[in-house]
Amino acid sequence: MHQRQVDEMTTVRAGVVPTQRAALYSVLGILATVAVCGSFVVSFGVHRVFTGLLAGAVVGVALLAALFTRDAVVLTDYAIYRRKPWTMSSISWDRVVAGRFTLDERARWSLALDLSGGDEPHGELVLLSIPPVVRPVAGAYDLRKRDQVTEIRAILRRKRIPVTVLPQIAGALQEHWQIAPPAH
């Protein structure tokens, strides 16, 4: 399926960029900044180093934004698409066994799908990893994460995917973000 077709469907963006890929993207952003700054210094002399740094920072940030934006999991009514800057693969909803909202190894809340078959590590696809919710929505980050939880929950409900939520997570989501616990 072409990228334009994926974007035109009803979609929910999710996904967690693994630490190794985030480090690679950061290195690429720094290299882009250094390359542009170096080009300015070579072309215009040492007195243009600050102009080079500014131009390099703009290019580096733009590159980082492009890489992190492209690296995502997109849930549609037809399939789950895992996008990376250089590839896109799809996972059929038939492979999704269940979902779970639990604590991960870093004490963050992790919303993941358990998958049957395939090449995913441990047969799971992590959709969201957020710090524990301990207060009402306090800014844009909290609002976006609350919206993501709501959107992911809605599509999983439509697909009739059972989701297990730890009681302390369900309680905090209901108390602070007004997200009702899943119906059984």
Contact 53, 37 (CB under 8 A): yes
* Residues 55, 110 within the same domain: no
Contact 167, 182 (CB under 8 A): no
* Residues 53, 119 within the same domain: no
As given in the structure block, the two tokens for residue 95 are 């492979």
* Residues 101, 34 within the same domain: no
The pLDDT score that the predictor gives to residue 118 is 67
Residues 6+ apart with CB under 8 A from 7: none
- 120: in domain: yes
The C-alpha atoms of residue 125 and residue 117 are separated, in whole angstroms, by: 12
- 84: in domain: no
The identity of residue 94, as a single letter, is D
- 31: in domain: yes
Q: pLDDT (tens digit, 9 = 90+) per residue, 42-62?
A: 999 899 899 999 999 999 999
* Residues 109, 52 within the same domain: no
* Residues 27, 101 within the same domain: no
- 103: in domain: yes
* Residues 66, 97 within the same domain: no
- 1: in domain: no
Say how many residues make up the chain.
184
pTM exceeds 0.85, yes or no:
no
Domains of the chain: total: 2
Nearest C-alpha neighbor of 151 from the set 74, 88, 72, 89: 74
- 30: in domain: yes
* Residues 66, 101 within the same domain: no
* Residues 65, 100 within the same domain: no
- The answer, yes or no, to whether residue 39 has pLDDT greater than 90, is yes
- The answer, yes or no, to whether residue 8 has pLDDT greater than 50, is no
Domain that holds residue 172: 92-177
The pLDDT score that the predictor gives to residue 43 is 93
- 110: in domain: yes
The pLDDT score that the predictor gives to residue 5 is 47
As given in the structure block, the two tokens for residue 121 are 């590590």
More confident residue, 94 or 118: 94
Please compute Rg for the chain using Cα positions.
20
* Residues 64, 102 within the same domain: no
The pLDDT score that the predictor gives to residue 140 is 93
Angle between helical axes of 140-158 and 167-177 (0-180°, round to 10):
120
pLDDT, mean of residues 79-100:
91
* Residues 21, 98 within the same domain: no
For CA atoms 48, 54, 57, 58, the dihedral sign is negative
**Residues forming a β-bridge with 104:** none
Count CB-CB contacts under 10 A for residue 65. Answer: 12
- 83: in domain: no
Q: What are the angstrom distances between the C-alpha of 35 and each of 55, 65, 76, 85, 132?
A: 10, 18, 39, 21, 39
More confident residue, 5 or 129: 129
